[in-house]
Chains A and B, each alone.
Chain A
């Protein structure tokens, strides 16, 4: 029963509206961290065995499994390279990001 709030940045006008504890209120969807990326992972699906290891390891939950295949969401992928490191097939390459 996840109650994910809409993707927006919340700025309070008064301390009275704020919780006293530093906690996230909206979801992090508004925070498109893909812009932080210098190198980007590219999957060669021809070698992929659909093991899902990249999906499991991505620290930013930026890999989705779509119809059994891994798909990177570049809006959020920070380019850390973990997926490329962990892929048993070595089918993910990190390539230089273009401007």
Chain B
């Protein structure tokens, strides 16, 4: 069935089709419709889940963790300040190996108070041990929720599905809503290897001495390293059943490219248009949109970028005193490789400023006219 829905509702439908059993969330612009629709689904019986109202995002995640530990499939969604308030609980989720799936609408951090898109909220949670997927269409959002449960529950690592405020969250697109029976085939019920139950009592997350703490972290990292292959496997399986492939990255005309944009989120769609324009001008451009940001898809990124001379990384975020965060990550992935492209880093679109075809034209003109990296950060669209 096809429906015209907003990005936020794509998250709700994804959670519904995945048969989430416990949903705990606190509303925040621009996430509100995600849980609004889910609460309606719970109320009218469309979704057989317990909807827990809470007084903060910290509690929302805490409620999900308790439920997850007891063996329930859990879902929540938040944005910006709400995600920041959850921060402590994000460590609990990953360190305690509770495969919660959460939607995060990329919104700029205050102050200045903002409700518009930028990635600093989710990227500030980079090191909490969550898997992170960045999406560029409403269809991708819905599909990725279902895939994320599959990946997360196999490895017992939580997942964050990230989408841009307004350009995706509030934008209506045609979305194919998969058949429930097919989704049930793809995603079996959650059956964790351990759980909180009076039948076999254990305390979880308790004091861990230096005898064992490091081994727990080692194991989390080892399981994180399994994610890229599992994303490929589950993405191909999804394609077989639903006709849409969900990989670690999305390549657009990268095969013969001599210049590649590295993008994420909705800017990745705009980049495709920019690539077409450059190709019309005779420049062999391509776009590599990173879908899976954590764990970082090292192999995939290396195999694509080591064949091109020039790369322009676009960041809708900044690590103050350093670079754009995707820029850091891409450079670190290419370090020590036998063939390294020139990698330029651009920052644009902070706090919801539009990233347009013109932005990409400016980026391309800059990168194609230089033979070495002259600036740590090239700012696009700052009123200097």
Q: Which residues of A contact B (CB under 8 A)?
A: 1-4, 11-12, 15, 18-25, 28
Contact = CB atoms under 8 A, between A and B. Distances in A.
B215 interface: yes
A21 B219 CA distance: 9
Given A2-B201, A3-B200, A20 B219 contact: yes
10 closest A-B pairs by CB? A15-B215, A24-B203, A21-B97, A20-B219, A23-B202, A23-B204, A22-B208, A24-B202, A11-B211, A22-B205
Given A20-B97, A21-B204, A22-B95, A15 B219 contact: yes
B165 to A, nearest CB: 34
B156 A20 contact: yes
B211 A19 contact: no
B223 A20 contact: yes
A18 B193 CA distance: 13
A28 B215 CA distance: 21
A4 B96 CA distance: 22
Contacts of A1: 199
Contacts of B97: 20-21
B58 to A, nearest CB: 20
24 contacts: A1-B199, A2-B198, A3-B200, A12-B215, A15-B215, A15-B218, A18-B212, A18-B215, A18-B216, A18-B219, A19-B194, A20-B97, A20-B219, A20-B220, A20-B223, A21-B97, A21-B156, A21-B194, A22-B95, A22-B205, A22-B212, A22-B216, A23-B194, A23-B205
Contacts of A19: 194
Interface string B211-247: 1100110111001000000000000000000000000
Nearest to A1: B199
Nearest to B204: A23
A12 to B, nearest CB: 7
Contacts of B95: 22
B321 interface: no
B226 to A, nearest CB: 12
Interface residues of B, number: 23
A22 B219 contact: no
A22 B69 CA distance: 12
Nearest to B209: A11
A94 to B, nearest CB: 26
B96 A21 contact: yes
A25 B201 CA distance: 9
A9 B206 CA distance: 14
A65 B147 CA distance: 52
A76 to B, nearest CB: 15
Contacts of A22: 95-96, 204-206, 208, 212, 216
A24 B207 CA distance: 9
Nearest to A14: B215
A12 B205 CA distance: 17
Nearest to A20: B219
Contacts of B215: 12, 15, 18
Contacts of A4: 201
A30 to B, nearest CB: 13
Nearest to B219: A20
Contacts of B218: 15
Contacts of A2: 198, 200-201
Contacts of A21: 96-97, 156, 194, 204, 216
B207 to A, nearest CB: 9
Nearest to A18: B215
A24 B199 CA distance: 15
Nearest to B203: A24
A12 B212 contact: yes
Contacts of B198: 2
A92 to B, nearest CB: 27
Contacts of B219: 15, 18, 20
B109 to A, nearest CB: 30
Interface string B111-136: 00000000000000000000000000
A24 B206 contact: yes
A98 B200 CA distance: 39
B305 to A, nearest CB: 33
